[in-house]
Amino acid sequence: MKITKLETLCLSRMHEPERQWITAKYRTVKADCAIVAIHTDEGLTGIGEASAYGVPSRIREWVEWLSSALIGRDPNDPTIAPHPNGKGRPHDCAVGGIDCALWDLRAKIAGKRVSQILSPDAADKVRIYASSGCRYDWRKRPEQLIEEALDYVAQGITAMKFRIGTDWVWDGVTVDRFLGLVRELSQAVDGRMDLALDGNCRLTEEQSMPIALELDRLGFAWFEEPMPRDNIDGYARLCAAVEMPVTGGESFTTLEEFRPYFEKKAYDVVQPDAGVCGISELVRIAEMAQHYGCKMYPHSWHNGLMAMAHAHAIAALPNSDILEVCMIQGPLQWGILAQPPQIENGYLHLPDRPGLGVDVADDVVERFPYIEGHYAITIDR
Ligand SMILES: [Mg+2]
């Protein structure tokens, strides 16, 4: 079998005005998707989603450039996969998409699920968490966060991650005011769902420490990227101060970038993203995490094909047990797939089919034509 062609499907969907969401200073106005397909001369095709943060049209250019090393080659040749280099996001996202598509293709050739190739003992379902809590506005109705959380409880979802809301400077939000909302949320949920907070690197260490101590007291599942990533010693101090895991690393694309965080005990859980580094690098990072006694919860934003790549990795890896599912991507998220997987009672079930177990829907290019331009606009108040 030989690889004949690589193509990149660039897809978009504008959010309806009521579905647009603001976090920090950004209003997100559309959903994007980039899918890499690797075709062969025997009719099998491998598919993988690249993180749209690499910009779909720029990912397509890199996939075209990288394809010369794959066309005409045996898909099972272990030397053909490109590697992330940590130097440019569009390049590494293209690598991520190609690597995920190669895993899908190789598993299809072997007649096995990707998870079974990673581990014969792989589970056939993975626990999910609802990733959102980024619609609430400190100026309007911050309690929207609590209503959203209770909606997830009603859906049978057992964990949720939320963010810190619109720009705190706009409305004079303090750590105390924020923690007031956090305590209200925690009381409303009342132990029916695990809670986690993502700081999106927006807090100082002086803000992060009291928040971490309170989240720890409230039994939070983790505290993600509170501070800028370069404050590695600050992360180490935070890790040492609380029992609750401190997590991060979603934008790192190589194992080597995680080294100081492992060595300084600056993360308890690492969060690589197969859409920016590929399944191969994600597994390397998870194995090193295991060596350091850390867990790996993949960062999984955007669309359903990415969720499937991560679901297979989580099902197989010993130190990974929860899948992020973006709750605000809109109809593009699962509409790209011909048969979305079953999600029930807080678990995603891996389809009993080879590869990643899903196909791209036939009419995605017509239904979700690509829209150039940034997915978010900066706003000022
Ligand atoms: Mg994050």
At 61, which CATH number?
A: 3.30.390.10
pLDDT the model gives residue 223: 99
State the Cα–Cα distance between residues 129 and 74, nearest whole angstrom: 38
Per residue in 101-145, pLDDT (tens digit) is: 999 999 999 999 999 999 999 999 999 999 999 999 999 999 999
Domain of 92 in residue numbering reads as 3-112+363-378
Cα 102 from chain centre: 19
Instruction: List the Cα angle 138/142/144 in 5-degree steps.
Output: 145
**How many separate domains does the chain show?**
2
In terms of domains, do 59 and 207 share one? Answer: no
- Domain with residue 294: its CATH number is 3.20.20.120
In terms of domains, do 264 and 138 share one? Answer: yes
Question: Which 3 state secondary structure label does DSSP give 20?
Answer: coil
Decide if 159 is inside a domain. Answer: yes
Decide if 252 is inside a domain. Answer: yes
Decide if 356 is inside a domain. Answer: no
DSSP secondary structure, 158-216, as one string: -EEEE---B-HHHHT--HHHHHHHHHHHHHHHTTSSEEEEE-TT-S-HHHHHHHHHHHH
State the Cα–Cα distance between residues 219 and 115, nearest whole angstrom: 31
Decide if 190 is inside a domain. Answer: yes
In terms of domains, do 189 and 88 share one? Answer: no
Question: Which 3 state secondary structure label does DSSP give 32?
Answer: strand
pLDDT the model gives residue 93: 98
Q: Are 298 and 270 in contact (CB under 8 A)?
A: no
In terms of domains, do 88 and 231 share one? Answer: no
Distance 198 CA to ligand 1 centre (A): 6
pLDDT the model gives residue 253: 97
Distance 224 CA to ligand 1 centre (A): 6
Beta carbons within 10 angstroms of residue 2's beta carbon: 12
Question: Which 3 state secondary structure label does DSSP give 274?
Answer: helix
Decide if 355 is inside a domain. Answer: no
State the Cα–Cα distance between residues 136 and 340, nearest whole angstrom: 28
pLDDT the model gives residue 6: 98
Distance 227 CA to ligand 1 centre (A): 11
pLDDT the model gives residue 100: 98
In terms of domains, do 194 and 237 share one? Answer: yes
State the Cα–Cα distance between residues 15 and 28, nearest whole angstrom: 8
Provide φ and ψ at 6, rounded to 5°.
-115, 140
Decide if 357 is inside a domain. Answer: no
State the Cα–Cα distance between residues 337 and 87, nearest whole angstrom: 31
pLDDT the model gives residue 375: 95
In terms of domains, do 148 and 98 share one? Answer: no
Decide if 262 is inside a domain. Answer: yes
pLDDT the model gives residue 258: 98
Distance 271 CA to ligand 1 centre (A): 8
Residues sharing a CB contact under 8 Å with residue 374, sequence separation 6 or more, in sequence order? none
Distance 250 CA to ligand 1 centre (A): 6
In terms of domains, do 87 and 165 share one? Answer: no
171: tokens are: 């409305």
328: tokens are: 């605000």
Amino acid at 281: E
pLDDT category of residue 76 using cuts at 50, 70 and 90: very high
In terms of domains, do 217 and 328 share one? Answer: yes
In terms of domains, do 43 and 166 share one? Answer: no
Distance 163 CA to ligand 1 centre (A): 9
Amino acid at 323: L
In terms of domains, do 241 and 344 share one? Answer: yes
Distance 131 CA to ligand 1 centre (A): 9
Q: Say if strands 295-296 and 269-270 run parallel, antiparallel, or are unpaired.
A: parallel
pLDDT category of residue 96 using cuts at 50, 70 and 90: very high
Distance 121 CA to ligand 1 centre (A): 29
Per residue in 253-274, pLDDT (tens digit) is: 999 999 999 999 999 999 999 9
Per residue in 291-338, pLDDT (tens digit) is: 999 999 999 999 999 999 999 999 999 999 999 999 999 999 999 999
Decide if 343 is inside a domain. Answer: yes
In terms of domains, do 340 and 202 share one? Answer: yes
91: tokens are: 């390049």
Q: Are 46 and 101 in contact (CB under 8 A)?
A: yes
State the Cα–Cα distance between residues 148 and 132, nearest whole angstrom: 9
In terms of domains, do 19 and 163 share one? Answer: no
